């Protein structure tokens, strides 16, 4: 009797489909979000330029938390993200609860992002109802997320690049306005 030869990777092993450029832009696009374009204007209108200090403090706090997560992931790599770390530290209910809370947060954030995108695009296309734009964005995002991870990475790369280019453009325009 011969031993079967494995031609594929064993079950439970992760496949490295995403490239470093995908991961970089996924991180940057996730941090930026379309809420920055819509929400920052409302925050500045309400609180004035002092909101920049709040953004800076939140940014520093987020960076510290993400560095801690990176260290935990480097020490204990797993496919379960931070819910796996919560489970390892506090038990199965902690991992279960954190995982479902994260899912619920993503569902809410996806709806907020689609609403913000629809508000922006509705300004460009006022004849198209905002609800239809939102429905279209949700359908496209859902379809992309149901395809292969490589397709998702490529989609997110290009859309995150649009956000980064827009922010760099706004910074350049702001600098030019300050310099006259």
What would you measure as the largest C-alpha separation in the chain, in angstroms? 82
> And the tokens for 125?
């296309």
Task: Please tell me the number of Cα atoms within 13 Å of 30 on its side-chain side.
Answer: 10
> What is the pTM for the complete model shown?
0.64
Q: What is the pLDDT along the chain (180 residues), one digit of tens a residue?
A: 555 544 555 566 667 788 889 888 888 887 777 667 777 777 888 888 788 888 889 889 989 998 998 898 888 888 777 889 889 889 999 999 999 998 998 888 888 888 888 988 999 999 999 999 999 988 988 888 888 888 888 988 998 898 889 889 988 998 999 898
Whether the Cβ atoms of residue 138 and residue 114 lie closer than 8 Å to each other? yes
């Amino acid at each position: 009797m011969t031993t079967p030869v494995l031609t594929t990777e064993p079950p439970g092993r992760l496949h490295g489909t995403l490239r470093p450029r995908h991961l970089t832009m996924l991180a940057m696009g996730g941090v930026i979000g379309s809420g920055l374009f819509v929400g920052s204007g409302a925050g500045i209108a309400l609180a004035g330029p002092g909101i920049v200090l709040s953004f800076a403090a939140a940014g520093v706090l987020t960076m510290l938390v993400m560095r801690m997560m990176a260290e935990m992931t480097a020490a204990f790599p797993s496919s379960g993200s931070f819910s796996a770390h919560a489970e390892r530290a506090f038990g199965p209910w902690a991992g279960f609860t954190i995982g479902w809370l994260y899912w619920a947060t993503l569902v809410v954030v996806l709806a907020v992002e689609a609403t913000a995108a629809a508000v922006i695009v509705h300004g460009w296309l006022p004849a198209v109802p905002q609800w239809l734009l939102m429905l279209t964005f949700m359908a496209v995002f859902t379809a992309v997320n149901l395809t292969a991870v490589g397709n998702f990475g490529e989609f997110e790369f290009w859309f995150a690049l649009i956000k980064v280019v827009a922010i760099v453009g706004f910074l350049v325009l702001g600098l030019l306005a300050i310099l006259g």
